[in-house]
Amino acid sequence: MWTYILRRALYSIPILLGVNLITFLLFFMVNTPDDMARIQLGAKHVTQADIHTWKEEKGYNKPLFVNTDQSGSAVLTDTIFYQKSIPLFQLDFGHSDSGRNINKDIAQRMWPSLALAIPSFIIALITNIVFAMWMVMLLGTKLERMSLIFTVALMSISGLFYIIIGQKIVAGMWHWFPVSGYQAGFESWRFVMLPVLIGVVAGLGAGVRWYRSIFLEEINKPYVNTARAKGLSEQQVLFKHVLKNAMIPILTGVVVVIPSLFMGSLIMESFFSIPGLGSYTIDAINSQDFAIVRAMVFLGSILYIVGLLLTDISYTWVDPRVKFK
């Protein structure tokens, strides 16, 4: 099993290389370092000398891929690509264009993100599965058909609507929760409750339908008929057999997103002014800080790949039939 995991881990290296190459091409080829300097220094009254000093400070004063002035291996290493890529693989994100230490920011902003993302994830998972099971139990009834249409309606409402209306009514008019903001430590639950609630409701339609389709696929399999023929009650069939077997497809969809919870939610965090990684990214996008956006893209990719790896591992854990080939 360990060799299997190791091989999967090795397989992710070329993917990370690819991600790095794509992001590098995006950020450095389309906009040359000169363009970036102009953005950061302000568009007007920038002399060539200013640009030059800025580039030198940030380490952008080298050729992109091949440095013909150097000899030996330095031809490839003394370039922006090499100098900016290697630290990323060591998880050293360096400094943002405005001079902040990105690693320090991430370490600090990770906690509010997690405080929001983990409860949202767990509560949404449970609610979605419970409602989906409930709908499967009602299969074929009028109530089921009504609730199916209801989930379509829920799904058709823009997520922004839930956020804006939730914030306005629950926090603004009823004063159940603070409208926005954050406080570290134990007090954080008061600030996190409303975004969690809204996140769960906003994802309910799509989530319930997804789990429902998984359960329906299971319920048409022969073993369910066998279980029924043995005389098991419908509850026993559903909870003991269908739910257990449905865990495999559920795991594929769920485990892969767990590491990405670190990244936080762009929309939720910025609406509720939670100082997590999501709002960090949005701020970076708005201030066109390419170093931060690049770091976050890379971090997100690593977390996704870790998610894929975890999925593979969890497979072997829930389904002994999976062979390590």
Partner 1 sequence: MTFIWLWTDFLLWVLFALSMFAVVKIRANELLRQKWQKIFAQPLALSAFIVFAFYILIGLSDSIHFRLDNNTTTYSVLDRMLLPALEAEEKTYSTPLNFEQFSKEYLDNGLRGRVHLNLPPAEITNASDNTKNILAISANALFYAVGIFLVFILFLEKFTPINTKNNRSAFVTIFALMFFCTWVALMMPNYHILGTDKAGIDVFYKAVKSIRTGMIFGLLTTLLALPPAIILGLMAGYFKGKTDDVIQYIYTTINAIPGILLIAALVLILQVYMDEHASDYASSLERSDLKLLLLCVILALTSWTGLCRLIRAETLKLSELEFVQAAKVFGVSNIKILFNHLMPNVMHLVLISIVLDFSGLVLIEAVLSYVGVGVDATTMSWGNMINAARLELSTDPVVWWPLASSFIFMFILVLSANLFADRVRQVFDPKGDDNA
Nearer to partner 1, 126 or 146 (CB): 146
Q: Residue written as tokens 């997804």? A: 210
Backbone dihedral region for residue 106 (phi beyond 0: left; psi -120 to 50: alpha; all else: beta): alpha
Among 3, 48, 90, 156, binds partner 1 (CB under 8 A): 156
Nearer to partner 1 by Cβ, of 77 and 141: the residue is 141
Task: Kindly give, in sequence order, each residue whose CB lies less than 8 Å from that of residue 80, ignoring residues fewer than 6 positions away.
Answer: 28, 33, 59, 60, 62, 63, 64
User: What's the CA gap between 105 and 110, in Å, rounded?
Assistant: 8
Regarding 164 and contact with partner 1 (CB under 8 A), the answer is: yes
**Which pair of tokens denotes residue 216?**
């329906």
Q: How far, in Å, CA of 304 to CA of 39, rounded?
A: 31
257 binds partner 1 (CB under 8 A): no
Cα-to-chain-centroid distance, residue 216: 28
Cα 323 from chain centroid (whole Å):
29
Residue keyed to tokens 């609406």 = 271
> Beta-carbon neighbour count of residue 211 at 10 Å?
22
Binding letters toward partner 1, positions 25-44, x by CB under 8 A: -xx--xx---x---x-----
Q: State how far the Cα of 71 lies from the Cα of 65, in Å rounded to an integer.
A: 14
Candidates 4, 5, 8, 15: give the one binding partner 1 (CB under 8 A): 15
- Number of neighbours of residue 155 by Cβ within 10 angstroms: 15
Region near partner 1 per CB under 8 A, out of 57-65, 102-110, 138-146, 309-317: 138-146
Sole window of 71-79, 193-201, 233-241, 278-286 interacting with partner 1 (rule: CB under 8 A): 278-286
- Using rule CB under 8 A, residue 274 touches partner 1: no
**Given candidates 60, 93, 272, 304, which one binds partner 1 under the rule CB under 8 A?**
304
Phi and psi at residue 93, to the nearest 5°? -85, -5
CB of 2 to partner 1, least distance (A): 23
Residue 6 or 149 with smaller CB distance to partner 1: 149
For position 296 contacting partner 1 by CB under 8 A, the verdict is yes
Shortest Å, Cβ 43 to partner 1: 8
Q: What angle (nearest 5°) sits at the alpha carbon of residue 228, between those of residues 222 and 233? A: 145
The CA-CA-CA angle for residues 122, 123, 126, to 5°, reads 85
For partner 1 (CB under 8 A), the number of binding residues is: 50
48 binds partner 1 (CB under 8 A): no
What contacts 181, CB < 8 A, 6 or more positions away?
191, 272, 273, 274
Candidates 281, 309, 311, 314: give the one binding partner 1 (CB under 8 A).
281
Of 63 and 159, CB closest to partner 1 = 159
Residue 217 found at the interface with partner 1 (CB under 8 A): yes
Residues at the interface with partner 1 (CB under 8 A): 14-16, 18-19, 22-23, 26-27, 30-31, 35, 39, 139-140, 145, 149, 152-153, 155-161, 164, 168, 172, 213, 216-217, 260, 263, 266-267, 281-282, 285-286, 288, 290, 293-294, 296-297, 300-301, 304-305
